[in-house]
């Protein structure tokens, strides 16, 4: 099952830069592990925003929730999820 996910990141203004950099490094490793597993199919930066659009391939809502809630930046994110279905005009 494919899901379009938008993540808007809001780090606290008073978070020390070293702490922010450390969380971002762990976030990157977490994301790249899921990408290597084929679970996190796409990640695109939203131009001009600290946001991304991603496509996840999860077997269930619960699996997607576990992946998203495990993000190191999860406490600092607003996340919206759109389930995707096959379009009847898709030739693939
Ligand atoms: O930078 C972002 O959009 C947040 C994020 C998600 C995965 C990652 O590596 O960064």
44-69: pLDDT as tens digits: 999 999 999 999 999 999 999 999 99
15-47: pLDDT as tens digits: 999 999 999 999 999 999 999 999 999 999 999
90: in domain:
no
CA distance 67 to 58: 9
Query: The pTM is what?
Result: 0.96
Task: Find the CATH number of the domain harbouring 28.
Answer: 3.30.70.1060
89: in domain:
no
List residues near ligand 1 (CB under 6 A): 7, 9, 27-28, 31, 52, 73
92: in domain:
no
Q: At 6, is the secondary structure helix, strand, or coil?
A: strand
Q: Domain range holding 40?
A: 2-84
CA distance 33 to 19: 21
Q: Which residues contact 43 (CB under 8 A, 6 or more apart)?
A: 31, 35, 52, 53, 54
ipTM metric: 0.97
67: in domain:
yes
How far is ligand 1, taken at its centre, from the CA of residue 85, in Å? 25
91: in domain:
no
Task: Report the domain count for the chain.
Answer: 1
């Amino acid at each position: 099952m494919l899901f379009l996910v938008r993540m808007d990141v809001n780090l606290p203004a008073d978070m020390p830069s070293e702490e922010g950099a450390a969380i971002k490094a762990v976030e990157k490793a977490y994301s790249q592990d899921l990408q290597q597993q084929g679970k996190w199919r796409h990640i695109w930066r939203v131009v001009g925003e600290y946001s991304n659009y991603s496509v996840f391939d999860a077997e269930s809502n619960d699996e997607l929730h576990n992946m998203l809630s495990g993000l190191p930046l999860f406490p600092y994110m607003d996340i919206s999820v759109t389930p995707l279905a096959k379009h009847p005009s898709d030739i693939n």
